[in-house]
Each structure stands twice: as C-alpha cells, then as structure tokens.
Chain A
Amino acid sequence: MKNEKTDYKNIPGWGMDIDPGNEPTYPMKNYTGDDHKRSVYERSNQQHADVEILKSNERPALSAVLGNTVPPSGISGMIRRYAFKHSEDRYRHWIPLILADRVNVVEGIIEDLSRGIIPNIFAESGIRAAIRHNPKGLLKKVIITSVVAGVILYALKKKK
C-alpha cells in the first residue's frame, strides 16, 4: 500500500480542538470534589426487582435502575449464583460465569426443543452470508471438518 505525505493542516478541522491543558485526568473528569461525598447524592427512585438480580458483592445495594432480562435459571443459574458469592477480583467469580455461559447454550437448545422449535444452527450462524460472500472459505471449512471427523472416526474404529 502506497502512503503519501499529507498536507495535514488542510484536513478539515485540523487543530480545532487543540487543548494545551489536556493533561492526564483532564478532561476525562471534571473534578468537583464530589468523590469525597461518597454516596451522598440525589438518587433516583429504586426500581422494584421483579426478577432475581445477582448483585456484585462489591456494592451494598442494588443500583437505582436494573436490567431485568434473562434471570438466572437451571444449572447455569446455579453456577451463576455461586459466582456472585465472590468478588469481581476473584477467578472464582469469572470462570464459573464463563462455564455457566457454555452450559446455558445447551439449555438454550433444550428450551428451543421444548417449545417445539428445532434450532436452525446453520442459519443462526449466517451460512447464507458465507455461501454468498465466502464460498471458498466455507468449502475449506467443510473439507477440514470432514477430514478431521473422518480421522477421528477411523481412529476410534481401529481402536475397537
């Protein structure tokens, strides 16, 4: 790729926002001293928690507003409840959450089937786009997957 020298001062807007005072901490934070007032501020009304909310143990109470989507349930929910017994500092918080996410995928398929939906995993993965825009890549993936699966099956058969 050829890069040419730019007459940068002619770029629209060049230098408009030059701020010699822009040193670390400013302007990310317009310091007012409010930090030292801790939690003394006008707070919005507390949203009623109508589903189970897993709260970080690094804060004393729920935030004023809450996301109430997809409450914990099933085995993944049990793992998530365990995770939230530990602070965000701990691996015991994050690793179980990643594990719960993977368990949740299986639960999602079971949930689909229980609702009479057969998940179209190929469509959900965007196979139409792959066929349209990357047929060679898709073919390569299919061949590699088939070869690997074939080798594994052959090895298993031989072992028997």
Chain B
Amino acid sequence: MLAMNYRGPYRVRTEQRPMPEILHPEDAIVRVTRTCICGSDLHLYHGMVPDTRVGSTFGHEFIGIIEEVGPLVTNVKIGDQVLVPFNIACGKCNFCKQGLYGNCHESNSMATAVGGIFGYSHTAGGYNGGQAEYVRVPYANFGPTVIPADMDPDDAVLLTDVVPTGYQAAEMGGIKEGDTVVVFGAGPIGIMAARCAWFFGAARVIIIDHIEYRLEFAKNYAKCEAYNFKSMADPVVFLKKTTDWYGADVCIDCVGCEAEGNALQTFTGKVTLMQAGAATALQWAINSVKKGGIVSVVGVYGPPFNYVPIGNILNKGITLRANQASVKRLLPKLIDHVQTGRLNPKGLITHRVPLEEISDAYHIFSSKLDECIKTVLIPSAKH
C-alpha cells in the first residue's frame, strides 16, 4: 500500500509499504478515504517532537471504510464508513470512564503524559497514522464512529480533530454570556475555536496572528475581529487597551510551540532548543487575560518545559485549563451542529491533494503558501 514516510525534518515522501495487520482482537483495519495534514503534524515535520523516528507514517485526522476487524470487534463491521478520533482510547480505564478520552491509560506505553495518538511519534505510542491507504485502528469497539449517511466526507474528516479541538478550546475557556474572548493563532484550530466561542455566548471574539490572509479568512469564517500582531508595538498592551484596560475574560492559545513574535522565546525555543519551543502565545495569553480570567490551551508543546510567566498566573488568579480534545465525548453534539448547518467544517478546506503529492502538500502548509488553511489528502480511488 502507499503510505507517507518521514525521512527527517522537512523531508517526507510516499512509498509502498506492507499492509497493516490485526495485532489485537479489538483492532480494525481501515481503508483511508480522506486524511488531513494537521498544524500539529508540522511540529513533527519540523523535527520538534522527541522520538519521531525515520520511517514513521504521520496522520491523526482520517476517515475511511472498515476493511477487516479483529475477533472481538462488535461495534463496527466491514464496510462501515467511519471517522476515527485522533486519540486512541480504550473506553474502559479510569480516565476514559470519566470522559478523558485524550488521556487513556491503556494506549501508550512510551510516555505517561500523553495517551496514544495515531501517527504522532513514539512519544505518543508509536502507531502509524492515516496518511496512507490503510491504517490499523486499535480499540475499534470504542473509537471509530459510523459517519451519518447524509454527512459530507469533508465535514466528517474534520470531526476527527479540528472541530472537537477548537470546540473544546472554547469550552475549556468557561465562556460566559457577554465575555470577550481572545484566540491566539489563526490556523484551522484557532479559527474553529473562534467560531465555537459564539456557541457559549461570547459578545466579542478577537483573533490574533501575523499571517494576513489567514486573518482575513478567520474574520469571514468565524465572524470575529482579526488583528495582525506585527502591526502592533505590543500585543498585550493592545489587548488591554481594547478591553477597557481590563484584559480579556478568556484567552485561548491555539498556537503551541512554534510561535513567532518574541525574539527571546524564538531564540530559546526554536533556535537553541533551551525550552520546548517558543511559548510566545501562552505568554501573551497569560498576560492579556483579566485578573481571575481563564486561559485555555490546545496549542501543542513538546516536553519537558517552557518559559512562561507562572508568577502572573498566581498573582492574577488565573485558571489554566488544557487538554487534548476528548473527541469521542464531543462527537454527538458536534455532529448535530454540523448536520443542522450551524458549523461548516469543510469551509476550512482550501487544498485537496492526492496522497502521492504529500511532499508538496507539507511544504505548502508549512510555508503557508498559496493561501493554504487546511489540506486534505486523498488516497488513490483505485484502492
């Protein structure tokens, strides 16, 4: 089968690889029909995530058709069209039982700080991802969700990560009616978080980035205000000023470890790797939120630590909330939002690329060329 093959930072290709096999009685094999490149895949692509081994296949956003099931799989059957949450979750451990499906205790032997994730380095369990024609899906009784018959596959594939992560980012903000919400990062997750903030009753949503075309897209898609931090002397002062010198009620970090905008963070986080990436967005979020406000983090940071103003969290009485999205918990509500037309996930897709052209697709997304917001990879129809 054809699959993506990571060869080192900024180098990927497709090549023929062995078909995945059932390795556990609760496994399924899924024939991939749509898969995406996620912004967090770029952290792998840039060599920022420890234990990313050459030869790995990335891809944690995918949908497909069940081709084979293990002997204990009863909840899905061969031929079902399924969307597969990016987190691998057993549904039975104490964390899963409490809805923390992004923190499953039975899917990752290689690190305790993160559950298993498809195609996201050995730090996240060493599973192959969905940027391939076929993929092994563990815990098939729990994760894969049958796609409603009337749902567009382009909507479905974005329900595996982008929509739930953006929604949970807003949800973790504990937004109250009338709140001002600031979202850092106008990538797909940030745009979705800004869009979802309205669901919780925000009165004002502001998105901050430095890529002009993304800000324009975000403004139209999420109906929010959009500002370029490169046009400001100091984004924190700007945000204080625009909130009556008070600070936002909620700040959401949708950037993670490859932020721009602060020379010291960039030097220590991206040039010298003295910290796990540049935590500029998180620093701005902490410093821009009001006293007693909430900072929600879905931006991805690598281990082991980052330089952030922890003293301000204490002194301002900030609540910091963060997690990998609990996709399975959110799916029923989000499917309803999509089916009723309140959310239009596929509106984020700007590029549809054959899987064979994955090297170009990564380059376009990574370098933000051709006004790229979201790329969907499509494996060859003949398979």
Asked whether any CB of chain B lies closer than 8 Å to the CB of A114, the reply is no
Q: Using Cβ atoms and an 8 Å threshold, which residues of chain B touch A6?
A: 204, 223-225
Contact (Cβ within 8 A) B215 A125:
no
The binding surface of chain B is classed by DSSP as loop
The yes or no answer to A154 lying at the interface (CB within 8 A) is no
Within 8 A of A (CB), among B118-173: 122-123, 125-128, 138-139, 168, 171-172
Asked whether B52 lies within 8 Å of A101 as measured between CB atoms, the reply is: yes
**Any chain A CB within 8 A of the CB of B53?**
yes
Q: Which of A117-160 contact B (CB under 8 A)?
A: 119-121, 123-130, 132-134, 137
Flag if A55 contacts B109 (CB, 8 Å).
yes
In the complex the two chains form, is B126's CB within 8 Å of A68's CB? yes
The smallest beta-carbon distance between B177 and chain A, in angstroms, is 6
Task: Tell whether, in the assembled complex, residue B54 and residue A125 are in contact, meaning their CB atoms are under 8 Å apart.
Answer: no
Chain A neighbourhood of B77, CB < 8 A: none
A22–B174 contact, CB under 8 A?
yes
> Roughly how many angstroms separate A145 CA and B11 CA in the complex, as a whole number?
18
Q: Does B319 contact A (CB under 8 A)?
A: yes
| Residues in B neighbouring A83, C-beta threshold 8 A | 51
A29 and B98: CB pair below 8 A? yes
A88 to B98, CA, bound (A): 25
Kindly state whether residue A66 has any CB partner on chain B within 8 Å. yes
- B291 CB contacts on chain A under 8 angstroms: none
- Closest B residue by C-beta to A15: B201
Choose the segment among B60-68, B88-96, B255-263, B278-286 that binds chain A (4+ C-beta atoms closer than 8 Å).
B88-96
Q: How far is the CA of A22 from the CA of B225 in the complex (A)?
A: 25
Contact of B99 among A29, A35, A88 (CB under 8 A): A29
Q: Is B199 an interface residue (CB 8 A)?
A: yes
Classify chain A's interface size. Answer: 35 or more
Contact for B111 among A1, A88, A120, CB less than 8 A: A88
Residues of A within 8 A of B110 (CB): 53-56, 67, 84
Alpha-carbon distance between A82 and B312 when the two chains are bound, in angstroms? 37
For B222, give the chain A residue with the smallest CB separation: A11
Q: How far is the CA of A13 from the CA of B200 in the complex (A)?
A: 9
CB contacts under 8 Å to B, within A16-34, are: 16-20, 22-24, 27-32, 34
Could you say which residues of chain A place their CB within 8 Å of the CB of B369? 129-130, 133-134
Q: How far is the CA of A157 from the CA of B318 in the complex (A)?
A: 59
- Give every chain A residue within 8 A of B123 (Cβ-Cβ): 97
Cβ of B241: which chain A residues have Cβ within 8 Å of it? none
B219 touches A67 (CB 8 A): no
Contacts of B112 in A (CB 8 A): 56, 58-59, 88
Q: Which of A1, A24, A105 contacts B321 (CB 8 A)?
A: A24
A98 in contact (CB, < 8 A): yes
Task: Report the nearest A residue to B115, measured CB to CB.
Answer: A63
Q: Are B171 and A126 in contact (CB under 8 A)?
A: no
- Taking a contact as CB atoms under 8 Å apart, the answer to whether B228 and A70 are in contact is no
**Residues in B whose Cβ lies below 8 Å from that of A1:** 212, 215-216, 219, 226-228
Cβ of A31: which chain B residues have Cβ within 8 Å of it?
98
- The CA-CA distance from A34 to B98 in the complex, in Å, is 8
Complex Cα–Cα for A23 and B224 (A):
24
Which of B107, B204, B364 is A63 in contact with, Cβ under 8 Å?
Answer: B107
Question: Is A17 within 8 A of B109, CB to CB?
Answer: no
Residue B97 lies at the interface, judged by CB distance under 8 Å to chain A = yes
Q: Which 6 A-B pairs have the closest CB atoms?
A: A126-B363, A67-B126, A105-B8, A108-B54, A67-B127, A13-B342
Query: Footprint of B on A, CB under 8 Å?
Result: 1, 3, 6, 8, 11-20, 22-24, 27-32, 34-35, 37-39, 41-45, 47-48, 50, 53-56, 58-59, 62-70, 76, 80, 83-84, 88-91, 93-94, 97-98, 100-102, 104-105, 107-109, 111-112, 119-121, 123-130, 132-134, 137
